[in-house]
A and B are shown apart, each in its own frame.
Chain A
Amino acid sequence: MKPVLLLILCLTLLCPLAAAAQENGQTGAEETFFQANQAYKKGRFQAAAQGYLKLAAAGRGSGDLYYNLGNAYYRLGQLGRAVLYYERARLFIPRDPDLNFNLTQARDQTKDAIPQQTGLLEQGLFWLHSMNLYEVFLGFALLNALFFGVLILRLFRRPEWTWYLVIVFGLLGALAAGSLAVKWHQTAHDQRAVVLQKELKVLAGPDEGDTVIFKIHEGAIVQHERSEGQWALISFGPNQRGWVKAGAVEQIQPQ
């Protein structure tokens, strides 16, 4: 009887402790966020960026946090990082007007004209550009629930209008399922990376002595194909590929 009592006592004591720790963590994050915001407003952009980075590293990454981080780097004159974090914020809040305005502003200042390659499927499913993965999932889940809801109803009663509802929800649900699959694929295989250096030499091979075949500039978005040691293979056009130092580019999709 005694061990059981002891266990109950321990659990009773530990639960409030865990809750308090969580609360402290929340308060600490809020405090860091507030201080970073204050630093930004006072023009201490480096401190602001560090605060936001600390929160992102603690798993607090969100659209607004990455947007603020993009702003801080923009103010610091680090266009590459600004574009990186704005693009990362777009993964969460793709329709945010502030974000889209600032991202356009930052993109306007980049030097390289790299054409964005859009597949036929992405052009057809144009709405995916303005929705994040979770929103596409919610749309599909809703249509899925409506479709099966009507099917369940039809097990008991079969008025004619339920048949049309089955057709409509079925078609929309199939479209939503396709959208979710494409968005999932886009997100899972998003290899876009942003150039972080002012000017980056793209070499023919993963060696300092290799031929420089291109030069690209800060803020340019490229495809990060693979990494080999300290080198990364990037591409930014149908026939434009080459090797750069791994730290010179960073992938938009957090790893």
Chain B
Amino acid sequence: MRFWLTLLLLPCLLAAWAGSAQAELSLSLKLNRQEIAMGESARLVVTLSGTQNADTRPSIQGLEDFTVSPGGTSSRMEIINGKVSSKLEFNFFVQPRAEGEYSLGPAVIKTGGKVYTSSQVKLKVLKSPAKVDEAQGPLFLHSSISPARVYPEQPAIYTLKLYRRVQVRDLGLQLPDTPGLSFRQLGEPREYPARAGGRSYQVLEVRYAVLAAKPGVYGIAPARLKLTVLESGGSQGFGGFFNDPFFSSGRPEFLSSQPLELEAKPFPQENRPADFSGLAGQFSLEAKLEPGKLKAGESATLTLRVSGQGNLQRIPDLSLPELPGIKVYADQPVLKADWDQKGQHGKKVMKWALVPEKEGQYSIPTPGLTYFDSQSGGYKTIAGKALQLSALPSGQPARVVPAAPKAARKAPARKQEIKELGSDILPIHASLRGLAASPQAGFPGWVHILALAAPLLLYLGALLFLKLSRRSDEALTQSRAKKAAKLILASCSDPELSNEALIIGLKDYFNHKFGLSLGVLTSHEAVKLLKERGCDPETVEAAQDCIRGLEDTVYCGLGGSCTELGQKAAKLVKDLERQIR
């Protein structure tokens, strides 16, 4: 049941997605090149976003002077993070019939009962840079340079085009090696269809910026291209299947372009400014001082930004004139440069921290910039301007801005980074503590060794004390036992000794000998004790007899004579002294 429900719901969900995607349709028009030469073509793409279907094909205005070839239609749908997007692309190749500047578009498409219109795009059609030889075969390499006359370090665009009517692979290009000229590739190679000598070709184009370091006439040798031309090895009867490069064999071929010439003219001497640094191109200069009002002793930042197109590395490090009453700390200039199809462009940013020493109104003159305008062929100077800086007294509190009501308060201002205005070392340590002898001075001494050894010695001392005290306890017990043995042996030899005294003497002897505190010694206890201490069975039996005899005599009035029992007790004590140490 659940499976069928899912199967029913899935198309509904997809339809809903498609519906939501279709709800935001838009039409755009794009060209892959903004400049082409006569005989070349550009790719024009009309994109209808938000759907994969359209009721009609787009109509594009402004294509009267172009030959239009369809380049196919493609549609795609993407789901990214649950968001569905779809688009439909119509491709066209447009080839101009005349030179000029054209506005193509807008494109118009009708779908879902609505009409969608795109914006326009501009295309500049230049005359063919050099006439391509009509006698050229199905594969040739063509080179051109524009402009052919430049100033030192002004880029000329060197264009290499591979015209082909056959399939090729393994391309290896060897650029001309001309001393004094440097080549820099501009962007990725482009591929497009074009006509030359009345025939259609597929063109692979790659562009380089060529820079001449010094004035002079430079001959640019032919560029050489090594490639493999694929030759179809299959029968035409298989509908071109065997035209696939996979099934084709190749033959190596070397192509050469035509030699060219580039003239680098010297910068004119006439009206040449004294501070000209060799900077050529088109540039602009922007100056900014922030904040314009501050307290004396605080710092403001003066920023000069030179931006434009040309040999940016020649932008000089501008310097500020002497500013009386203001301390100036220059920051390291930052140069950002990039290359595009027209050459090098970018900017150089120079910053200074200005710290007014006293209150007052200061006029900060900013430096100007001189460069050679390669378009107009003359020198240009962008004059600096004077920026105003007001410094309030340092003690005077800054203008107090009354706090806005909580509801009207904006987000907290972005914190600015702490700027380092200078660098210096920290002061000396003047405290007399610095003169005190370092604890490391006499290290290691006896005190330190003792400090390490003391805990170990203490531990060993405690261990020794415990051992000795235990040993003295045992020694005391033994000496007492010896005394008790002597005492009872002396008593046994006494003819007037009573049996009561004898049994008490034996009890004391056992107590001292074995560290006991018995009040009465029974034969049973004595046997158990002696067995535990490992006495031989005869001695145990003798002890049992002796003590039992004494018990019988003392407590029951039976038994042997006192002398006999005394002798037995004396023998027993002697045996025990011998056996138990």
Contacts and interface: CB of A to CB of B under 8 A. Distances in A.
Interface in A70-121: 71-72, 74-75, 91-92, 98, 101-102, 105-106, 108
Given A64-B431, A147-B455, A148-B456, A133 B443 contact: yes
Contacts of B431: 64
B435 A155 contact: no
B427 interface: yes
B463 A29 contact: no
A33 B432 contact: yes
Contacts of A64: 429, 431, 433-435
A144 B448 CA distance: 12
A41 B430 CA distance: 10
Nearest to A106: B425
B444 interface: yes
Contact of A152 (B425, B429, B434, B459): B459
Contacts, number: 91
Interface residues of B, number: 32
Interface stretch (A55-63, A207-215, A221-229, A230-238): A55-63
A147 B455 CA distance: 8
A182 interface: no
B462 interface: yes
A132 interface: yes
Interface string B124-135: 000000000000
B438 A63 contact: yes
Contact of A141 (B426, B428, B432, B452): B452
A102 B434 contact: no
A151 interface: yes
Given A37-B428, A71-B428, A98-B429, A134 B439 contact: yes
A59 B441 contact: yes
A65 B440 contact: no
Nearest to A97: B426
Contacts of A147: 455
A68 interface: yes
B435 A33 contact: yes
Given A152-B462, A155-B466, A62 B438 contact: yes
B103 to A, nearest CB: 58
B435 A132 contact: no
A68 B429 contact: yes
Contact of B438 (A48, A92, A144): A92
A148 B458 contact: yes
Contact of A65 (B423, B434, B452): B434
Nearest to B453: A144
A72 B430 CA distance: 13
B462 A155 contact: yes
A132 B440 contact: yes
B274 interface: no
A23 interface: no
A59 B458 CA distance: 35
Given A152-B458, A152-B462, A30 B432 contact: yes
Interface string B263-281: 0000000000000000000
A16 to B, nearest CB: 22
Contacts of B427: 71, 98
A243 interface: no
A149 interface: yes
Contacts of A63: 434, 438
B170 interface: no
A241 B217 CA distance: 51
A134 B440 contact: yes
B436 interface: yes
Given A33-B432, A62-B438, A148 B459 contact: yes
B532 interface: no
Given A55-B435, A144-B455, A134 B443 contact: yes
Contact of A137 (B434, B441, B444, B455): B444
A94 to B, nearest CB: 12
Contacts of A33: 432, 434-435
A148 B430 contact: no
B79 interface: no
A101 B425 contact: yes
B437 interface: yes
A132 B431 CA distance: 21
A14 B430 CA distance: 34
B471 to A, nearest CB: 16
Nearest to B457: A148
Given A74-B425, A105-B424, A145-B455, A30 B435 contact: yes
Nearest to B465: A155
Contacts of A55: 435
Given A149-B455, A151-B459, A152-B459, A60 B435 contact: yes
B451 interface: yes
Contacts of B424: 105
Interface of B: 423-441, 443-444, 448, 451-452, 454-456, 458-459, 462-463, 466
Given A65-B434, A101-B425, A137-B443, 10 more contacts: A55-B435, A62-B438, A67-B428, A68-B428, A134-B440, A141-B448, A145-B455, A148-B458, A149-B455, A152-B459
Interface of A: 29-30, 33, 37, 40-41, 48, 55, 59-65, 67-68, 71-72, 74-75, 91-92, 98, 101-102, 105-106, 108, 132-134, 137, 140-141, 144-145, 147-149, 151-152, 155
16 contacts: A41-B428, A48-B428, A68-B429, A72-B428, A91-B440, A92-B440, A105-B423, A106-B425, A132-B440, A137-B443, A137-B448, A144-B452, A145-B455, A147-B455, A152-B458, A152-B459
